[in-house]
Structure formats: structure tokens, C-alpha cells
Structure 1
Amino acid sequence: MAERRPSIPLALQRAVKEESGYRCAIPTCKGTSALEIAHIVPWVEVRTHEFENLITLCSVCHTMYDLEGKIPRKSIQQYKANLALLHGRYGEFERRLLEQFAQTNSSSVQLNTGRELDLYYLLRDGHLTARADSGGMFIGGMPVAQLVTYSLTSSGQALVKRMKAGSPLS
């Protein structure tokens, strides 16, 4: 009789899904429906649920990985490593901005002033530059909010390109 596999604890499921932003961890998919937790090294080999060995995949990608073997384990391991790097280094706002750059193929965005701390590591790591724009909102002739254009540098463009391809980020 086969051993019954215990359920993945809810707190662990939540942590794995938070790591990927509640999206499929495969960069070219990023699906948000029918999310499942997949073992990178199969359950039958490890017989344990460990954060480092779990990744969020949509049901289609999970099937292509586990059942059909169409996605190599090395690729899934790299996607997990990239998630760890992005999650450990960059804040939520920075990760969302990188994802926006990846999805839209744009290289700059205009934001109101005051976002410097939200983008601190991308700026510090040299992936973004900031340029204050002369425009903005005025009330009674007084400037209220000045816009800042944040642009990807060449290293930022390379980072986004690697993210999209699922290549190593480090």
C-alpha cells in the first residue's frame, strides 16, 4: 500500500506563493489562476515539504514540468534561485516595477517625487537612474508634485532581459 503524502502546511503554501507574488514562477507565464505548489525535486525522492524545494506554478506549467517533462528541472531550479534573489534584495514596489518593465518592454516610467526609498536598491545597484522633470502639478501657481522619470540603465535592461528569459540574475 502506498504511503499517504501529507498536505503542505498552509503557512508554507502561503510563503511559497508570496515569494512568487501569487503568480506562476515561470517568467514567460506569470499566470495567476489555478496556482499549485510544485516540488522541484519530486516528493517521492525527498519525502518532505521544504520551502527551498517548493515553487508556485500554474496548473498548466505544473503539468508540463511534473507529468510531461517539458520543463527541465534545471530551469525550475533557476527560476527558484531568481525568486530568492529578487525577493531577498528588492522590495515589493521594486519587483513590481521590474515586472512592469518586463511585460511592457518599456525602459522608463514617470512617478511623483518621494518614491526614492521605494526604489532604493534598484537605484543603488545602478539598474535605474532618476531625472526630475520640470513639469508637475500646480495649485495657485505653487508646485505640488514634481514628476521624476526613472529609466533603466544598461545593467537594468540586462536584468529585465534575464528575468524574462529565466536566466541567472546574479
Structure 2
Amino acid sequence: MLEAEALDEREADELAHVVLLRLAAEFQGFCRDLHNECIDVIFGEFAAPNRRLELLVSNQNMRYGRRLDTGNATKDGIGSDFLRLGLRMWVVLESALRDQVQEWLLTVHLLNAARNAIAHNVDAKLDQLRQDGHSLSLSTALRWRSSLDALAVGMDTVCNAHLRFLLPEVTPW
């Protein structure tokens, strides 16, 4: 087992960077998977008799050019992709959970800033994050993961409610 106390400062930073990169990837994957699940529910309900038509329409109109496939899971990217499903994700979340949404959006922003600085090896941006009071440590990664976990629950709940509104006879999940 890796003992955090046995790591020197540079090794601890490197480990934290790996964890932050993984956290960003996992959150982006969650958002993409949730979007896919929503598409599957919608098109599974309406196009089930014609699977080829279902795949054509859902892939061409809902998945093609999706921002979650080509960039970080940002506020704008998430919002844009879910709007394709008629869901104004951030508006709905803000109306129900205003105080939490601000924290979640800050976490998403900071995680993506850290991810980009780490992935592209831009020390000046890493230094700026630290100067702004954002330690890029394992404890920060754990705190951000907790925030993103809560955001994921909120997004899942909003998507479920949206699908129930669109398709009252369907129980999405």
C-alpha cells in the first residue's frame, strides 16, 4: 500500500495530479453516460419498432457533435448537450438548489482549470490556481469528488424528472 506520509512533496503533487486528471475524466464520462441514457430512453420509447431509424436519428441529432465527446465537461458543454433533449440543466438545478449549484459550478470550473494545466503541463496556470488559494492536493481532490458526487445526484434526479415529464408512461430508471 502506498503511504502518503512516505512521499516527498514532489511525489505527493504528482499523485494528486493523477487523481485530479482521473476525477475530471470520470465526471466527463458520467455526464456523457447520463446523456446517452436519456437518449436511449427517449428513442427507445418512440422508435422501438424500427431500430435502424432509432439509431440514425439518435446518433445524428443527439450524439453527433456532442461537446462532452470532444472537450471537458464544462458548464456550457453540459448545458448545450442536455439542451438537445429539451432540458435546461442549469436552470432547473438552480431553481431547486441555488446555493449548491454555485458550489458545484465552481468545482467544475476549478477541476477543468486544474485538469487543463496538468494535462498540458502549464506550470504558470498551476501556480495561479495555487496563488488563488486552491491547493491541488489529495484532500482537494477528495473535496471536489464529494461536490461532483452531489452534482451527479442532482443531474440524475433532474434528468429522471425531465424524462417523466416528456414520457409520463415511462419509468426511466
- Structure index of larger Rg: 1
User: In proportion to residue count, which structure has more helix?
Assistant: 2
* TM-score of Structure 1 vs Structure 2, range by shorter chain: under 0.3
Relative contact order (C-alpha < 8 Å, sep 6+): which is higher?
2
Q: Structure 2 length normalisation: TM-score?
A: 0.25
Q: Structure 1 length normalisation: TM-score?
A: 0.26
